[in-house]
A and B are shown apart, each in its own frame.
Chain A
Amino acid sequence: MAQFFDALSKLASESGFVSFFTGSWQNLIMIIVACVLLWLGIKKGFEPLLMVPIAFGMLLANLPGANLSVHYHNIPEFIQLIKGELVVDGVKLEAGLLDWLYLGVKAGIYPPLIFLGIGAMTDFSPLIARPSSFILGAAAQLGIFGAFLMAMFLGFDPQAAGSIGIIGGADGPTAILTTSILKPELLGPIAVAAYSYMALVPIIQPPIMKLLTTKKERAVVMETLRPVSKREKILFPIMVTIVVSLVLPSAGVLVGCLMLGNLLKESGVTERLSKMAQNELCNIVTIMLGVSVGATTNGKTFLTADTLKIVLLGLIAFSVGTAGGVLFGKLMYVVTKGKVNPLIGSAGVSAVPMAARVSQKVGQQENPSNFLLMHAMGPNVSGVIGSAVAAGVLLAMIPH
């Protein structure tokens, strides 16, 4: 009988439940956070395609004793890990499934592949028809550099500040790629903050848009865009790739993959490849990216004051980016003598197509017969290019 109780006692002492009370309380909190994120993704529809895998990765990473978190931050550490030479807190670590999946993040493979899929899903016609929309995509990147400056004020190092700033680009894959290069230790909080705010675009943007515009400006009906020929649609991705990659080679990987995906779609001769990039490839990579990024959020490293600061700075980055886009929209309104509705500027923060839908919705509140969606898609897709360019700039300027 005593042996029976000894066995039970041993089982209990080795279980994950006991770990929560013996130094792993942070993991318990993270499991609760993961469940909240799962609820937001499933029940509230907050960016579910990425929120659900990220939250589940978070859940896995915080199960004590399961050895399911990502154990390394750089390639040399990964090599040590697979050789069985990586020791943390006196414990020799073994490489698990998520360590292998995370290699795609660390090696910068997943974000460009997701961009390939996004490119295959995106119609750049509104941007081709009105190239001046590029300026709004640039203006909305103000949030990135504003948040970078504030992060430096709050005491983050330049690499961390650059990674935090990129949240303002409202572009998940770009944020993940930049952070995995500049400050991989912050990948978890930055990915969670970026995707959470992207989901909250319909809540964050409208008050800023209304605050910075007048009723008259919001009611502007824009002229119909000119039709774009198939030849223009085919030449656009080729030209953007050449121009951006020659000027800023560090942005070439993201912009190149985005434009390759778009060329597959627009060429009309690679329909199978285009469909594969839009569906199977994008979906598979999304699962691997989400779960492995979520698995970097171990409670012991995630639950810090810095995480709270990152969440706050992410909100500021989003808000400043939105304001930048709207203010330049106002400038275009003045320059064109009232032909441009400033509301389309807020769509420059990427977050395709949600930000464009917000412009449409706010515009229709002033004038129910106004259809801004296609006009806002120009700055919106320009924001995707703009955030990739901004990431290239940060990677080029910040030593890493």
Chain B
Amino acid sequence: MLLEISFDMIRRGVFESPAGSWDWSNTLVVTLAGFFIVFLVLLLLIIVFTVFGKVMKKVNEKEAAKKPAVEAPAPAAAESGEVDDETAAVIVAAITEARGGKAVVIKDIKEAGK
């Protein structure tokens, strides 16, 4: 809102001067203030999302601490060579996410398929 007010001031005070003409000072204002404002808005987003990221990290850690650990993925399937450990881990992670982060225990790859 403050920026919007400053835009109005720029428009009324500089661009719509009594002479009603556009001179080089207007050009410089648009060039320098324009770039500065873009920078300022994105800088504000950096601050907001840096703080947000830190808060979310703590929230995620707290939630993770409450959950039981996810059991080693599908050992039977991995042992039988049906899928490798890495693939089984990916499947477990996907299902965990799909269930809203609720930890799952998968004993068999067929169960993972469901």
Are B45 and A244 touching (Cβ within 8 A)? yes
**Interchain residue pairs A-B with the least CB separation, the first 9:** A131-B49, A138-B42, A134-B42, A396-B7, A145-B35, A134-B46, A152-B27, A138-B39, A149-B31
Q: Name B53's closest neighbour in chain A (CB-CB).
A: A131
Query: Which residues of A sit under 8 angstroms from B34, Cβ to Cβ?
Result: 144-145, 148, 390, 393-394, 397
**Given A128-B53, A135-B43, A390:B7 Cβ within 8 A:** no
Stretch in B8-16, B66-74, B77-85, B105-113 touching the partner = B8-16
State which of A227-235, A305-313, A352-360 sits at the interface with chain B: A227-235
Flag whether A239 is at the interface (Cβ < 8 A): yes
Q: Show 29 residue pairs from A and B whose CB-CB distance is below 8 angstroms, ordered by the A residue.
A: A127-B49, A131-B45, A134-B42, A134-B43, A134-B45, A134-B49, A137-B42, A138-B43, A144-B34, A146-B31, A152-B24, A157-B22, A162-B30, A226-B57, A229-B60, A236-B49, A244-B45, A247-B3, A248-B3, A249-B4, A389-B41, A389-B42, A393-B34, A393-B38, A394-B30, A397-B10, A397-B11, A398-B15, A399-B15
Contact of B41 among A152, A229, A232, A247 (CB under 8 A): A247
Determine if B7 and A246 form an interchain contact, defined as CB atoms under 8 angstroms apart: no
Given contacts A152-B24, A247-B41, A248-B4, 11 further A-B contacts (CB under 8 A): A134-B45, A144-B34, A158-B26, A231-B59, A232-B53, A239-B48, A239-B52, A244-B41, A385-B42, A394-B30, A397-B34
> Contact mask A211-237 → B, CB, 8 Å, 1/0?
000000000000000100111100110
Query: With A149-B31, A152-B27 in contact, do A393 and B37 touch (Cβ < 8 Å)?
Result: yes
In the complex, how many residue pairs between chain A and chain B have their CB atoms under 8 Å apart?
Answer: 120
Q: Which residues of A contact B56 (CB under 8 A)?
A: 229, 231-232
Q: How far is the CA of A362 from the CA of B71 in the complex (A)?
A: 42
Bound-state CA distance A81–B59 (Å) is 60
A397 to B28 CA separation, bound complex (whole angstroms): 12
Q: Which A residues are in CB contact (< 8 Å) with B10?
A: 397
Q: Interface size (A, Cβ < 8 Å)?
A: 49
With an 8 A cutoff between CB atoms, is A342 at the interface? Answer: no
Q: Which residues of B lie under 8 Å from residue A232 when comparing CB positions?
A: 52-53, 56
Q: With A138-B38, A235-B52, A397-B10 known to touch, is A240 a contact of B45 (CB < 8 Å)?
A: yes
B41: chain A residues at CB < 8 Å are 138, 244, 247-248, 251, 389
In the complex, residue of chain B having the shortest beta-carbon distance to the beta carbon of A141 = B38
- A192-223 residues with Cβ-Cβ distance < 8 A to B are none
Q: Which A residues form the contact surface with B (CB < 8 A)?
A: 127-129, 131-132, 134-135, 137-139, 141-142, 144-146, 148-149, 152, 157-158, 161-162, 226, 229-232, 235-236, 239-240, 243-244, 246-249, 251, 382, 385-386, 389-390, 393-394, 396-399
A239 to B44, CA, bound (A): 12
Instruction: Please report whether the interface of chain A is mostly helix, strand, loop or mixed according to DSSP.
Output: helix
Give the chain B neighbours of A134 by CB distance below 8 A.
42-43, 45-46, 49
- Please tell me if the beta carbons of A135 and B48 are within 8 angstroms of each other in the complex: no
Known interface pairs A142-B35, A246-B1; A398-B30 also in contact (CB < 8 Å) = yes
Give min CB distance, B57 to chain A, whole Å.
Answer: 8
**Bound: A134/B53 CA distance, A:** 14
Q: How far is the CB of A101 from chain B (nearest CB, A)?
A: 32
Flag whether B90 is at the interface (Cβ < 8 A).
no
Q: Chain B residues with Cβ under 8 A from A390's Cβ?
A: 34, 38
With a cutoff of 8 Å between Cβ atoms, the chain B residues found around residue A226 in the complex are 57
Q: Which residues of B contact A248 (CB under 8 A)?
A: 3-4, 37, 41
A235 to B3 Cα, complex, angstroms = 24
Structural contact, B38 and A389, CB atoms closer than 8 A: yes
Q: How far is the CA of A231 from the CA of B97 in the complex (A)?
A: 11
Which chain B residue shows the least CB distance to A244?
A: B41
CB distance from B62 to the nearest CB of A (A): 12
Q: Which residue of B lies closest to A236 (CB)?
A: B49
- A251 and B43 CA atoms in complex are apart in Å by 16
* Distance between B33 CB and nearest chain A CB, rounded to angstroms: 7
Q: Nearest-CB distance from A162 to chain B (Å)? A: 8
With an 8 A cutoff between CB atoms, is B50 at the interface?
yes
Closest to A131 in B: B49
**A243 and B48 contact, CB distance less than 8 A:** yes
Contact of A399 with B30 in the complex, beta carbons under 8 Å: no
Q: Is the CB of B30 within 8 A of A148?
A: yes
The answer for the CA separation of A217 and B44 in the assembled complex, in Å, is: 28
